[in-house]
Amino acid sequence: MTEDRAKEILHILQDNFSIPPWARPNRDAFKTLIITVLSQATADKNTARAFANLSQKFSITPEALAKASVEEIEDAVRVGGLYRNKSKVIKAISRVILEQFNGSLDFIYSLPLEEARKILLNIPGVGPKTADVVLLFCAGKPTVPVDTHVNRVSKMLGLAPPKADYEGVRRTLETLYSPEDYLPVHLLLISLGRKYCKARKPLCKLCPVNTLCPSKRVED
């Protein structure tokens, strides 16, 4: 059964990868939102450097970043890649949160998941993954963010339909796992995707869950 196999995969991943110490709920919601924007299409080390540079130049608050010029933000986050677009998104998000929500994302804690998620998705520049990251990591809401690794690995392992879109993958993973496992599922699938289940050349022979993977490739 898929549920039994899904749980076995999770147990094996927990034995082979560790959860980072920073991965806990109740992180600052706005900072998490900005970090998630910076993390798009770049490596973790570049994200960290871009956020550190931004933090040195500005207070990471809606007020400070809404007042900053796009050019100033660009200078700070250039190392993170796609800096022109990310800078515009950061300023726009900051302005909306400042003007429409009095500079606070506290609604993510008090509102039900889907209501809070809908509000976040209505903020220009906030997509499903970004919204779900904020809801899961900051408010502990029961949702599974689906980045490129989670999407690819879930389908390779047969945990999600091959042609499923973002919502299809998210909903399927949420039916296979318990809410308390959503955070480790998200992080561990990313770890598996980075180390073994790579997009261009998956290391199936070395993968710790290869015996449970319907897509594994026989290597010479």
The letter for the amino acid at 163 is: K
Is 201 tagged catalytic? no
**Largest Cα–Cα distance in the chain?**
60
220 is catalytic: no
E-strand ranges in the chain read: none
- Asked if 33 contacts 126 with a C-beta cutoff of 8 angstroms, the reply is yes
Distance CA 206, CA 203 (A): 6
Cβ atoms of 129 and 101 closer than 8 Å: no
Tell me the C-alpha distance between 149 and 16, whole Å.
Answer: 17
DSSP state of 181: G
Marked catalytic residue, from 129, 132, 141, 181: 129
Q: Which of 133, 139, 140, 131 is nearest to 187 (CA)?
A: 133
Which position has the token pair 């390779």? Answer: 156
- Residue 152 structure tokens: 């690819």
Tally of residues, the chain? 220
Nearest Cα residue to 48 out of 63, 59, 58, 36: 36
Element (H, E) at 83: helix 83-100
From 91, 132, 141, 147, active-site residue: 147
Which positions are catalytic? Answer: 129, 147
